[in-house]
Structure 1
Amino acid sequence: MARLDYMDVYFSVQSFQEEDLRGKSAVIIDVLRAASSMVTALSNGAKKIIPVGAMEDAVRIAQTMDNKDYLLCGEQNGHKIEGFHLGNSPLEYTEDVVTDKTLIINTTNGTKAIKKAALANRMYVGCFLNQKSILKALEDHDDDVVLICSGWQGKMSLEDTLFAGSIIYKMCKGKLPKNTKDGVKVAFSLYQSYKDELEKAIETSDHAIRLKELVPDGDIPFVCETDKFDVLPGMKDGILINLNG
């Protein structure tokens, strides 16, 4: 099981370097909404997910595939990308839409975090929807753990930090050891303060307010559901698959 005194938390894509993750287990967090959409898609039967750092990369990969096999998915600054099949609402990723499809996804923050974490020994994608699966994966290995909050354009986001804090809180059963790193202390304390009103807290976050006019009304209640899916998105050869599948 991972040791909390070696765990660290990064609060945005820009706050870490690739080498910081070498040999470690990384959990990529993007509650609003890339991680939540990926977890939902894999639970609803998507075959695999190809995360890309730019729209042009998504189109280039799609051109090598049969039209019936893939869906182009994603957003830029909260807006669905023109010409793509799906945006970034987890409610779009229904069973009838994604079953047996390869999803090629590009988002403003989440996929950039995934691409930057390529040197991690193990990489998982986590959110409240699959919290239990993330906890079990971290318990099964003794790698040092890094929780990577995607944030928003280099800034901390409340919702991602709350999920990081939730993971830490569950791992230490609510009693944080003193010899932990500052980022761990911050995330733990934030979750401890808001754990009984997560949805309310996330609704008032900067990111939720920013997206208010762009996302379906049901997105925020949905992403706050805990342990809804037994799914563990994990990286294999540059592709995300359900390691619990």
Structure 2
Amino acid sequence: MYVLARHEDVRDALTDHQAYLSVDNFALEGGTRTADLPAVPITMADPPYHTALRARLRRWFAPARLRKQEPRVREIVAGVLDTWQPGQKAELYHELARQIPTRVVYAFLGLPEQDWERLHQWADAIDDSLPELRTDMPEFLAITRYLGQQLAARAASPATGEDVLDGLVHPADGEPPLTPVEAVIHAFQLTIAGTDTTASLITNLLHELLVDRTRWERLLADRTLVPAAIPWAANSASAAARMARRVPAGSRWRS
């Protein structure tokens, strides 16, 4: 395994899809091979499949659509914070940083709120097993079975255009339909990967603010600084420590 750190090398690895492949990228760390999965997730896909899938999902993550979710996000955050009492000690990762993004993603996908807690438990167990994703582990079987049932119910109903699950089973004009297995895998990946990096970002933000208490106090005194603090924390301590790529057999390194 080689580590790329120069800007131009990293840029090449992320943009040259002929020389650097996403397929089997998790296998580099002793994890799951792409062929071991029932369908190719977006993080293990290369163009043109990746390009088409990214375009399909992009409409659900467009800024205008995300802004419409703000009232629901505020409601979720308030619900998490309302469970705390003044002066109460809390484990920030599990009780705050992990709770908020999982609930937001589940709502965004369109998963019923009464199922969020068991989804969270399954997702945590799977996340702890990565980079090796065993498709025979009980939690993987449970969550994919559950998502399959949710998607099948959506497919049997008219399109609403309200959430991601609906978009996975009701393609827009010009989009090829996904197979049921593909839809499940993409919903599964959003359920798992869509929450972990955000939880890490929240934790890193709190750490960067509290490691120097004056930063925290400045933010408390002037809440207008909050929007700038988020990208600052992302740049100071990235939630994604690395991105793995694979080079085809027989390739030669360009120095």
* TM-score after normalising by structure 1: 0.28
- If each structure's strand is expressed as a fraction of its own residues, which one has the higher value? 1
- If each structure's helix is expressed as a fraction of its own residues, which one has the higher value? 2
Ranked by relative contact order (alpha carbons within 8 Å, sequence separation 6 or more), the top structure is: 1
* TM-score after normalising by structure 2: 0.27
Larger of the two Rg values belongs to structure: 2
